[in-house]
Chains A and B, each alone.
Chain A
């Protein structure tokens, strides 16, 4: 399958600072990437859909100014957690589809990054 790389895998920061997480598609160009948040032993909650060259589409209840998403190129989307607080501590995962189908066994299959665990002290 295709590779989606996410960095950093772990980050610890102080309350009030901002943290940037990168998501890169290594094998294909992704016009759309998805950002999820996962609490311990819970499901993935879609935060936003990142669109290359345009604004992200945020899910209801997700603060746009809190979670800044930039998709400046076809292989890179970034999520910046601004003025992080302890309640923002979570596991953040990005994903993307291969639009060419070269790496997908099924149309619609998502390729996930390895996730980034954010701990805000």
Chain B
């Protein structure tokens, strides 16, 4: 069964705007990760946040985690057309190296 549920399912923004994507999950986790997938390709790891962390930054990415609400958000600032892709959150339940369960994904379109 799906652990993560992202919203919105699809997001279309203008280049330069910020994109915010949300993910909710159901059970306690060890960490939550965000991945990006270009159409027809494999996934690329973007950022990981541990259950005892609340916010992390990596370049134009900012991820937050609220374990009380079992939710996370991914913010991409100053979006670029090249950010167009599908974004997935994934949760690891029992440890850093446990299997990942992926959400349904969000399709982000950045218009030039």
Contact = CB atoms under 8 A, between A and B. Distances in A.
Contacts of A115: 40-42
B41 A109 contact: no
A78 to B, nearest CB: 17
Contacts of B41: 114-115
B102 A6 contact: no
A109 B33 contact: yes
Nearest to A10: B40
Given A43-B102, A107-B97, A95 B43 contact: yes
A4 B41 CA distance: 12
A91 B43 CA distance: 12
Nearest to B104: A43
A112 interface: yes
Interface residues of B, number: 26
Interface in B1-25: 2
B31 interface: yes
Which of A32, A44, A97, A107 has most B Cβ within 10 Å?
A44
B100 to A, nearest CB: 6
A117 interface: yes
Contacts of B101: 46
Given A45-B102, A114-B42, 20 more contacts: A32-B97, A34-B99, A41-B105, A42-B105, A44-B43, A49-B99, A105-B45, A106-B45, A106-B47, A107-B96, A108-B31, A108-B33, A108-B96, A109-B45, A109-B48, A110-B35, A112-B35, A112-B43, A115-B41, A115-B42
Interface of A: 1, 4, 6, 32, 34, 36, 41-46, 49, 91, 93, 95, 97, 105-115, 117
